[in-house]
């Protein structure tokens, strides 16, 4: 009986140690990668959006971030992973007329995808996805690219939205790091 209790304690201790180790990346590297992704995004952006264009921008989903900020840690991290994956999927759109160099985009996507993979390892097999967040990114893509084509101006608007999401997501993860 005592050996079973000891075995259970050892297993629980190992599990706790492993789960905290798996999120060490979030504590030590996330902010570095987040800064790199924002720098690369700034390199890609031309910051010249024509005022003549009448584009209906999908309102930023602040309410989703408020919900995520009140969610358990695993759900917050899963929300972050989903944001990074949604951002990455936006770049599957045609961007021939964009102003950035291809190597900059490759580096940006590499950083974003590594962040998503590393954060996903923090929550293990947690498979929480936010349908509203997915629909927001889908509407963003359809609305901007539908109205403006895949023009340089359209990509500028999308990059501006991506930057806002990455900044909000960075704040969300920072709140986890400071609490742990």
Q: Crossing angle of helices 30-44/152-179, nearest 10°?
A: 170
Its sign, for the CA torsion 112, 78, 142, 167, is negative
- Alpha carbons 130 and 111: distance in angstroms, whole number: 22
- Predicted local distance difference test score (pLDDT) of residue 178: 53
Specify whether domain 25-179 bears CATH 1.20.1250.10. yes
Which residue from 97, 162, 174, 173 is spatially nearest to 136, judged by alpha carbons?
Answer: 162
Is residue 119 within 8 A of residue 20, CB to CB? The reply is no
92: tokens are 């599957």
Per domain, the residue ranges of the chain are: 25-179
57: tokens are 């921008």
For 131, residues 6+ apart whose C-beta sits below 8 A from its C-beta are none
- Predicted local distance difference test score (pLDDT) of residue 53: 55
- Predicted local distance difference test score (pLDDT) of residue 156: 87
How confident is the chain (180 residues) per 10-residue block, as mean pLDDT?
Answer: 41 40 71 88 72 67 92 90 93 73 89 92 77 93 88 87 92 72
């Amino acid at each position: 009986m005592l050996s079973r209790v000891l075995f259970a304690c050892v297993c629980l201790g190992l599990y706790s140690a492993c789960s905290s180790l798996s999120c060490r990346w979030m504590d030590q590297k996330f902010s570095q990668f987040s800064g790199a992704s924002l720098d690369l995004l700034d390199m890609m952006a031309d910051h010249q959006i024509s005022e003549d264009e009448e584009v209906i921008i999908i309102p930023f989903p602040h309410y989703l971030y408020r919900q995520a900020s009140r969610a358990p840690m695993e759900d917050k991290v899963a929300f972050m992973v989903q944001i990074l994956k949604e951002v990455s999927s936006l770049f599957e759109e045609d961007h021939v007329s964009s102003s950035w160099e291809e190597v900059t985009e490759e580096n940006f996507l590499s950083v974003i995808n590594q962040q998503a993979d590393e954060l996903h390892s923090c929550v293990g097999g947690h498979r929480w996805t936010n349908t509203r967040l997915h629909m927001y990114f889908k509407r963003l893509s359809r609305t901007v690219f539908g109205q403006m084509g895949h023009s340089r101006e359209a990509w500028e608007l999308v990059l501006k939205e991506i930057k806002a999401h990455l900044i909000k997501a960075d704040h969300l993860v920072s709140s986890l790091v400071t609490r742990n």
